[in-house]
Chains A and B, each alone.
Chain A
Amino acid sequence: MTELLQYEFMRRALLAAVLVGLVTPVIGTFLVQRRLALLGDGIGHVALTGVALGLLTSTSPVLTAAVVATLGAILMEMVRVRTRTSGDVALALLFYGGIAGGVLLIGLTPGASNATLTSYLFGSVSTVGEQDIWIVGVLAVGVLAVLAVFGRELFVLCQDEEVARAHGLPVRFLSILLAVTAALTVVIAMRVVGVLMVSALMIVPVAAAQQLSRSFRVTMGLAVLIGLVSSLGGLTTAFYSDLAPGATIVLLALAVFCLAVLVGGVMRRVTRRRTPAPLHPVAEGPADTMPQTDRGG
């Protein structure tokens, strides 16, 4: 472990990994709750356009990615509400626009190559510079602060948008706030795992934690723990075995998910055996928490 810390670039990489492991599962819990698990993916693609813009104009790609991803998130939220496009179609529009814009702009950048593109698509944590770390750190603090202040309202919003309205909550503001926070989280995680795998760190730890928990709070806590273990463990493994760090982190998270499914299954079986009378089984399948669009019967 000490060997790891000898290198300046590894110290920065580990710090970035800690921030990513900490922040992504927290926002991911809200996104999964809201059934917007792929939002991070869509924003990731848009962030690529931002990165390319940064390279083209010789400004910090992380900074331009933050700006473009934020605008993309707001745009997507507006498309979702205004045009009655379903969430997944709005996301798809974003996916393609973002990736095409990114590839186009990087092609225009003198000196940028496929290697540059690849480093942002799949992450290159070892090239994280000091300025990157500062930006990522500030963003991480910002994201956690937003979630601490608005967490209760976001919980209600993600649980049931209609109930949130009936509580008088500013639904549109909160929706955009969540999308923008997700966008900034994508930018935080982008350098570590790359825009194509950013969403994995938001979703996979949450999916794993769900298997083991019956409460929202515990799910979030466990997801953070799993996120930290995956990002630090993956990075260390990648260092010693000379593997791609981003992919190693994501695969480690997926391995934890598989383990959680097994452990969760055993746990449920044990609980069921302890409960004498079987509970009314709830119909499987996703609970519909989005506003119902029936004609008000």
Chain B
Amino acid sequence: MSAQFTEDGAPSPDTPPAFQAVDAHAAYDGVTVLDGVSLDVPAGQTMAVLGPNGSGKSTLMRAMLGVVPLTSGRILLHGTPLRRFRDWRRIGYVPQRLTAGGAVPATVREIVASGQVARRRRLSLPTRADRAAVDDALATVDLSDRAGDAVRELSGGQQQRVLIARALAGRPDTFVMDEPMAGVDAENQRALARAITHLRDQGSTVVLVLHELGPLEEVIERAVVLEHGRIVHDGPPPEATGECARPGHEHQHPHPDPNDPDPAHATAPSEMVRLEVPRRD
């Protein structure tokens, strides 16, 4: 287990949970997406949120950061209600994106440095520490040699790593990553897994929305599975067995009927857990 992490790096027994959702409800256009989710994520934990498309897992993550408003319920970040939370430099968010760039060209370094927006003062030039943090972030995702290149010249997997480096550059201790592995080739997946392992070893809190555990299986301490906006599993990661357990298994075969999973595929100790598989879309 990783140590709890505080500002000075010392473990503290009184550290409040990094994230706390209390009876969280959210809806889009009157359609319920989160239906009473309560969840504590202790500081220092590496947790995966799994579930099929439309289960609300991405919405839960966005709601925890105030990107999506709740219709009822409460969110606390590091013990502070979301509305009063000001310590945004502690949060690193990796959105679900295929590309890291906007319409105007930007270099890898510019994008990564923009992750420091919450910790830098207005009209200030970057300090030596700021620059070092950007260098470290680039090194962690193995992109130091691409710092001066335009982001749009990079492959999708490399752009995903840029987004992770952007989150790292602010030196937060709490990370939320929305499907960082989606659309990323195997080599880039391993690079991402190394970066995430590194974060866990530092004692950071890492919450990941995942399609499947894949190369992150070793890193994940806890898995929460959502279905129809409710938590249906909370505990150790569901173990993949049989063919799916083989290293390098890409998990790209569609399950014929989601309500009747092939027994060779994902099953959980407590209840039937459906791991999401890429759909036809």
Pair from one complex: yes
| Interchain CB contact under 8 A, B95 and A148 | no
Q: Flag if B99 contacts A287 (CB, 8 Å).
A: yes
Contact in complex: A215, B107 (CB < 8 Å): yes
Residues of A within 8 A of B (CB): 29, 32-35, 148-150, 152-153, 155-156, 158-160, 162-163, 165-169, 206, 210, 213-217, 219, 279-280, 282-283, 286-289, 291-292, 294-297
Residues of chain B with a CB closer than 8 A to A283's CB: 156
**B65 touching A166, Cβ below 8 Å:** yes
Judged by a CB distance under 8 angstroms, whether B105 is at the interface is yes
Chain A residues with Cβ below 8 Å from B155 are: 279-280, 282
B118 touches A167 (CB 8 A): yes
Which residues of B lie under 8 Å from residue A152 when comparing CB positions? 114, 117, 120, 122
Say yes or no: A287 contacts B95, CB within 8 Å: no
Sample of 12 A–B contacts (CB below 8 Å): A32-B103, A34-B102, A148-B123, A152-B114, A155-B114, A159-B102, A166-B66, A168-B91, A210-B105, A279-B155, A288-B97, A296-B59
- B5 interface hit (Cβ, 8 Å): no
Residue of A nearest to B106 (CB): A216
- Tell me whether B67 and A165 are in contact (CB under 8 A): yes
Indicate if the CB atoms of A297 and B88 lie closer than 8 Å: no
Using CB atoms and an 8 Å cutoff, list the residues of chain B in contact with chain A: 28, 31, 33, 52-60, 62, 65-68, 85-86, 88, 91, 93, 95-107, 110-111, 114, 117-118, 120, 122-123, 148-150, 152-159, 166, 176
**Measured between alpha carbons, how far is A206 from B159 in the docked complex, in Å?**
23
Across the interface, which residues of A come within 8 angstroms of B152, CB to CB?
282, 287
**In the complex, what residues of B have CB within 8 A of residue A35's CB?**
102-103
For A294, the closest partner residue in chain B by CB is: B58
**Judging by beta carbons under 8 Å apart, are A167 and B117 in contact?**
yes
Give chain B residues whose Cβ lies under 8 Å from the Cβ of A166: 62, 65-67, 91, 93, 95, 176
Given contacts A287-B98, A297-B53, whether A214 and B120 have CB atoms under 8 Å apart is no
Q: Say which residue of B52, B67, B104 sits within 8 Å of A210 (CB atoms).
A: B104
B158 (CB) vs chain A CBs: closest residue:
A280
> 8 closest A-B pairs (Cβ-Cβ)?
A296-B59, A280-B155, A168-B88, A214-B150, A166-B93, A287-B99, A296-B58, A297-B53
Q: Are B59 and A295 in touch, CB under 8 angstroms? A: yes
Which residue of the partner chain, among B56, B122, B149, contacts A296 with CB atoms under 8 Å? Answer: B56
Assembled-state Cα–Cα distance A148/B90 (Å):
25
Q: Does A282 contact B156, Cβ atoms closer than 8 Å?
A: yes
**A167-B91 in contact (CB<8A):** yes
| B153 partner residues in chain A, CB cutoff 8 A | 214, 279, 282
Partner of A216, one of B55, B95, B105: B105
Are the C-beta atoms of A216 and B117 separated by less than 8 Å? Answer: no
In the complex, A215 Cα to B153 Cα: how many Å? 12
Contact between A296 and B68 (Cβ–Cβ < 8 Å)? yes
A217 proximity list for chain B (CB < 8 A): 110
From B68, B88, B102, B107, name the one whose CB has the most chain A CB atoms within 10 angstroms: B102
Closest Cβ of chain A to B151, distance in Å, is: 9
Cross-chain contact A288 with B176 (CB below 8 angstroms)? no
Q: Contacting B117 at CB < 8 Å: which of A158, A169, A288?
A: A169
> What are the residues of chain B within 8 A of A29 when measuring CB–CB?
104
Chain B residue numbers with a CB within 8 Å of A148 are 123
Residues of B with C-beta under 8 A to A210 = 104-105
Across the interface, name the chain B residue whose C-beta is closest to A285: B99
Residue of A nearest to B188 (CB): A280
Chain B: minimal CB distance from A226 (Å): 14
- Give Cα A160 to B62, complex, Å: 14
User: Closest residue to B121 on the A side, CB-wise?
Assistant: A152
Expressed in whole angstroms, the minimum distance between the Cβ of A150 and any Cβ of chain B is: 7
Tell me which residues across on chain B come within 8 A of A168, comparing CB atoms: 66, 85-86, 88, 91, 118
Min Cβ gap B31→A in Å is 7
Report yes or no: A162 in contact with B62, Cβ–Cβ below 8 A.
Answer: yes
- Are B62 and A216 closer than 8 Å at their CB atoms? no
Min CB–CB distance A270 → chain B (angstroms): 14
Q: Which of chain B's residues has its CB closest to A35's CB?
A: B103
Name the A residues within 8 Å of B86 (CB-CB). Answer: 168
Beta-carbon nearest neighbor of A211 in chain B: B105
List, in ascending order, chain A residues with CB within 8 A of B100's CB: 287
Question: Among the listed A149, A163, A296, which residue makes an inter-chain contact with B95, where contact means beta carbons less than 8 Å apart?
Answer: A163
Looking at the assembled complex, report how far the CB atom of B71 sits from the nearest CB atom of chain A, in whole angstroms.
14
